[in-house]
Structure 1
Amino acid sequence: MTAATERTSDGARPATPAHPDILAVARDQVLERGQGLSEQQVLEVLRLGDDRLEELLGLAHEVRMRWCGPEVEVEGIVSVKTGGCPEDCHFCSQSGRFPTPVRSAWLDIPGLVEAARQTAATGATEFCIVAAVRGPDARLLSQVRAGIEAIRAEPETRDINIACSLGMLTQEQVDELAEMGVHRYNHNLETARSHFPLVVTTHTWEERWNTLRMVRDAGMEVCCGGIIGMGESLEQRAEFAAQLAALEPDEVPLNFLIPQPGTPYADYDVVEGPDALRVVGAFRLALPRTILRFAGGRELTLGDLGAKQGMVGGINAIIVGNYLTNLGRPAQQDLDMLDELKMPIKALNETL
């Protein structure tokens, strides 16, 4: 007798076992045991309807509170070298390969110090120095070293944690940045490995991964995230979450595509708010202990109300002020939002 014709002793067919509800599974697996969702489980979450969104965000917030605590890490970023990048990242207005309005420019040391001072004044614990390059040359590393020394010399900024995002690194460059006292290094994988060749052709996903491995081995914290809304499928979003979980980064910045004039993605649609919030909740359930940071595009995608939903839906870090080539909200608006939500800003001594 085949399985299709098997019957119970009273002649009835046995009931087909119900597929376990993914949020019930996540409550036990992630909230209670601290084990992140698998790729297939993340995909199930991303496929939930809008009617389950509030439930998802509520669970993600519980996970964040249990495994990360109530504090929010605040960070400011500044570009020390803008535009003229030789790479062809299709989302980026700083690529020299596309006819965008962005032009190459360098920030001097006093400007770098002033940016750090303004960031520190918000109560931020992290200040990230960013450059639009494939990787740093001797001039850029010299500028970064001088900038760090100048920031450390100022009473208002000497204690802030300094992060860097300078592209792909050699082992010698990793060692030099560690010697400078760089606290955290950001290098985004941007998207799932299977989707990456459609986003960037001038370097590989594996090259980025190798930089991150060297950074971790050198003792710096790893910051690695990406951009949602670059034509990837739900399956690839789930793949990306699983690949980030395998990397075990200290921080994951979540960006949502801002279509940039002149780039190949200039006409892409902005991610819908519910889809963005599903990503926030799903990534928190995949990465229960990781700093999950709101980054670029949240204002365009979510607005004020959606940002609040994200903050009570798994997010526990935020970039305040402007981004690299896009204006953000005034920093005080985000600080007021955190105050309204009664979310304390992480103190500097908690990040050391």
Structure 2
Amino acid sequence: MTSTTSQTSILDRARERVLVHGEPLAYDDLVAVLRTPDELLPDLLALAHEVRLKFNGEEVEVEGIVSLKTGGCPEDCHFCSQSGQFTSPVRSVWLNIPELVKAAEQTAATGATEFCIVAAVRGPDERLMTQMRDGVKAIKDAVDIQVAASLGMLSQEQVDQLVDMGVHRYNHNLEAARSYFPQVVTTHSYDERWDTCTMVKASGMELCCGGLVGMGETIEQRAELASQLAELEPHEVPLNFLNPRPGTPFGDIEPMDAKDALRTIAAFRLALPRTILRYAGGRQLTLGDLGTRDGLLGGINAVIVGNYLTTLGRDPKQDLRLLEELQMPIKALNASL
């Protein structure tokens, strides 16, 4: 059997398992998908797009994010310029409540239905929880948008407090596969992240949990991450591509190849057929304008518009024009409730 014939058969198996039976693609087949040759990449993306349309529809969820507390984080996530342990140039800054409300209003003006408040911390202290409580109330009083949060690792008491505030979705990424995690973070464990995710799910908040690819992991570890996310069953998976930040341990890693990034998008869609799969950080560097279009036609059904936490994103108008051109309607606010 030739290599191309073998790869064609994996696409046939993926179609049968995922598109026909609605079951997530298993680890071994995800590895095979991630090795799809270039000539079959269009077929792979087309299959992932079919899966997305069948199980998620044609709508795209649009989200904006803002950093409530930037820089000075005590953790050593090797990709992150917000760590206080590295020489990267991001320094600690706090937003006040009026600035948070203004950012939420600007996000809503783009057509986004989701506004995520992010803080660079190991986990929230009482000051941060108080500012979240005041900020969420002020946003809800001022603008019709759903509020999500990403504040690091949580206690059960903090989970309950966020529910009481009206935070409907919590982001806490696994970042990397269990087997690669010690190469990415040493100041906390994979299990600590997993525990926060399971508490969030049990609380009734939606769980947003994804990862970062292109950090030097193997194809097998990329498939492992997709499989572990499928086991966790988050409501949403943000897929980030490493944008190497000066001064961080991963600052000299070459950006991921665009075709490998597209294979990864398709593989994650096949591993998570019913999950919101969101374009997140690094997509502009890794994929550019053409690749961004290909990903939207290869399994992606949500985007973050505007800038990311410490890096620039595409102009929101570009993304919205592209969605209009592709005839992909933006999910209405009431459709996300």
- State whether TM-score is above 0.5: yes
Shift of the alpha carbon at 1:153? 1.3
Q: CA deviation at 1:347?
A: 0.4
TM-score computed with the length of structure 1 as normaliser: 0.93
Partner of 1:36: 24
Q: Distance in 2 between matches of 1:257 and 1:84?
A: 20
Verify: 1:151 aligned to 2:129, yes or no: no
| Partner-residue secondary structure (3-state), 2:86 | coil
Aligned length: 332
Alignment of 1:104-115 (within 5 A): 104-115=92-103
Cα distance in 1 for partners of 2:71, 2:51 equals 39
For residue 189 of structure 2, the aligned residue among 204, 210, 226 is: 204
Alpha-carbon displacement from aligned partner over 1:67-104 (angstroms, at most 9, x marks no partner): 10000000000000000000000000000000111010
Equivalent residue number for residue 65 of structure 1: 53
- 1:123 deviates by 1.0
* Cα distance in 2 for residues equivalent to 1:243 and 1:152: 34
- The code of the aligned residue for 2:108 comes to A
Aligned partner of 1:139 in structure 2 is: 127
- Counterparts of 1:1-352 in structure 2 under 5 Å? 21-154=9-142, 157=143, 159-352=144-337
- Provide the C-alpha distance between the structure 1 equivalents of 2:133 and 2:67, rounded to a whole number of angstroms: 15
Distance 1:22 1:36 in 2: 14
> C-alpha offsets along residues 33-66 of structure 1, whole Å, 9 cap, x if unaligned?
1101001110010011111100000000000000
- Report the CA distance between 1:210 and its aligned residue: 0.2
How much is the aligned-residue C-alpha RMSD, in angstroms? 0.9
The SS at the match of 2:79 is: coil
CA distance in 1 between counterparts of 2:28 and 2:37 reads: 17
- TM-score normalised to structure 2 length: 0.98
| Runs of at least 5 residues in structure 2 that lack an aligned partner in the other structure | none
Distance in 1 separating the partners of 2:17 and 2:184: 34
User: How far apart are residue 107 of structure 1 and its match?
Assistant: 0.5
Distance 2:31 2:59 in 1: 28
**1:11 paired residue number:** none
Deviation of the 1:223 alpha carbon: 0.3
- Residue 289 of structure 2 aligns to a residue whose secondary structure is helix
Aligned residue type for 1:195: Y
Instruction: Give the aligned partner of residue 9 of structure 1.
Output: none
Cα distance in 1, alignment partners of residues 138 and 164 from structure 2? 16
Q: Distance in 2 between matches of 1:347 and 1:122?
A: 12
Tell me, what secondary structure is at the counterpart of 1:328?
coil
- Give the letter for the 1:310 counterpart: G
* Residue 285 (structure 1) shift: 0.6
Shift of 1:106: 0.1
Query: What amino acid is aligned across from residue 30 of structure 1 in structure 2?
Result: V
Instruction: Give 1:320 shift.
Output: 0.0
C-alpha distance in 2 between matches for 1:107 and 1:327: 18
Q: Which runs of 5+ in 1 are unaligned?
A: 1-17
Q: Matched residue of 1:308: which SS? A: helix
- In 2, Cα distance between the equivalents of 1:213 and 1:284? 22
> Quick one: distance in 1 between partners of 2:201 and 2:23?
22
Distance in 2, matches of 1:326 and 1:27, equals 37
State the alpha-carbon separation in 2 of the partners of residues 266 and 248 from structure 1: 31
Q: What's the secondary structure of 1:75's corresponding residue? A: strand
Deviation at 1:330, TM superposition (A): 1.1
SS in 1 for 2:69: strand
Amino acid at match of 2:91: R
